[in-house]
Amino acid sequence: MSLYERARAVIPGGVSSPVRSFGAVGGEPFFVAGAEGPYLVATDGTRYLDYVQSWGASILGHAHPALVEAVQRAAAAGTSYGAPTEREVLLAEAIRDRVPSVEKVRLVSSGTEAAMTALRLARGATGRDKIVKFAGCYHGHVDSLLVAAGSGVATFGLPGSAGVTPGAVADTLVVPYNDDAALDAVFAEHGADIAAVIVEPVAANMGLVAPGAGFLSGLRARCDAHRALLIFDEVITGFRVGLGGAQALYGVTPDLSIFGKVIGGGLPLAAVGGPGGLMEELAPVGSVYQAGTLSGNPLATAAGLAVLEQLDDALYVSLADRAAFLAAGLTTVMGEAGLAVQVPRVATLVGLFFSPTPVRDYEGAHGADVKTHAAFFHALLRRGVFVAPSAFEAVFVSAAHGWPDLERTVELAADAAAEVVSGAGPDC
């Protein structure tokens, strides 16, 4: 029996998170035996140049020596205490010192938990019920945010998953990304009831979609006018597009920010941050309850601190250069092969849409050609390059991706694109 068959016998779909299945591209996922720098090594010994990087968590590449050492040292001193530690303070200080809007931080264990906490805090602090989210933005599997995309106009959400009750999403309003008019309509109708607007300041879960000019500042202004809170979900963008996250990149200050992925360095760690007064609405000071047995876990804080120590402006400049090289290279070779693609880039983040026109919202993203994407995914994988097994994810370049790796990736992409166009690849 293959490992995948054994996995499916005891784990639904054989995976611990659905995005890891090859459901969207066909075929069977490989299993990882280990990883180093830009590479994943599969259980059959195949080495893949990895552009998933734990869905963006590993900005330094895999098994960075400083991180490995920090985690080993931490583990030897105990893996969890259920009592406060110095590293929680150090990590909170490190986040506060880097992110403009953050004065106080609550550490949690996943982005989902951070989103859930931010919403509860926003509702508790404002005494209002409604939340605005954008179609195509992902904030973890929080019930009230698992809402099907409304298309075109602002709409009351319908549950996007079985098991989410209509009641759980009754206070969620869904608006198209980059659509100021729809936002105005929703504020005009519900302004006095809106606790918060939650947004990915750069959308990276419907492929990569940049905020249009003035979109984020417009959001800030509307929230101010209606005394709603603005929540930036920086779980991907935080410490990824730059030290200060998207809020520093675009110069727009949210009330609350949530972080995950990069700040945990591949361990379960996420955070909610904001102004001191607002954050102190959280228990034990305030009346908004929130807790976690493993919150601020000593291994996770050790990993987070080790990563943050490596990140400086020079690293982001170098990472953005690499991302730009990859984006330009992909644009060229895919175009030469005759494939209509968009390769958007925001700082260090790269996207890839099989679409003839630029994508600015969820509806546009879903116009992309997922069949060609799937063929390209497999053609690349056969050549030893692993990108996300979905047409709606970002391409993550890490600091461990060297120039030769990137050059080889572009060459292999050219080869893969030619195969896709010729239809020569095996069926999958």
Which residues contribute to the site for ligand PLP (CB under 6 A)? 110-112, 115, 138-140, 200, 205, 233, 235-236, 260, 270
The number of C-alpha atoms within 13 Å of 294 and in the hemisphere containing its C-beta is: 11
Residue whose CB is less far from ligand PLP, 107 or 339: 107
Residue nearest to ligand PLP (CB): 111
The minimum distance between CB 258 and ligand PLP, in angstroms, equals 7
CB 258 within 8 A of CB 290: no
The minimum distance between CB 204 and ligand PLP, in angstroms, equals 6
Active site residue 233: yes
Other CB atoms within 10 Å distance of the CB of residue 134? 29
The minimum distance between CB 225 and ligand PLP, in angstroms, equals 26
Q: Both tokens of residue 15?
A: 């995976």
CB 316 within 8 A of CB 242: yes
Burial class of residue 122 in the structure, from the number of CB atoms within 10 Å of its CB (0-12 exposed, 13-18 middle, 19+ buried): buried
Residue whose CB is less far from ligand PLP, 138 or 250: 138
Active site residue 177: no
How many whole angstroms separate alpha carbon 6 and alpha carbon 300? 30
The minimum distance between CB 139 and ligand PLP, in angstroms, equals 5
Active site residue 261: yes
Residues 6+ apart with CB under 8 A from 352: 207, 330, 341, 342, 343, 373, 387, 395
Active-site annotation holder among 51, 138, 177, 250: 138
Place of tokens 């098991």: 163
Active-site annotation holder among 50, 171, 233, 405: 233
Place of tokens 């494939």: 339
Residue whose CB is less far from ligand PLP, 176 or 329: 176
Residue whose CB is less far from ligand PLP, 252 or 406: 252
Residue whose CB is less far from ligand PLP, 71 or 236: 236
The residue among 118, 179, 172, 182 whose CA lies nearest residue 148 is: 172
How many whole angstroms separate alpha carbon 342 and alpha carbon 52? 19
The minimum distance between CB 341 and ligand PLP, in angstroms, equals 22
* Residues involved in catalysis: 138, 233, 261
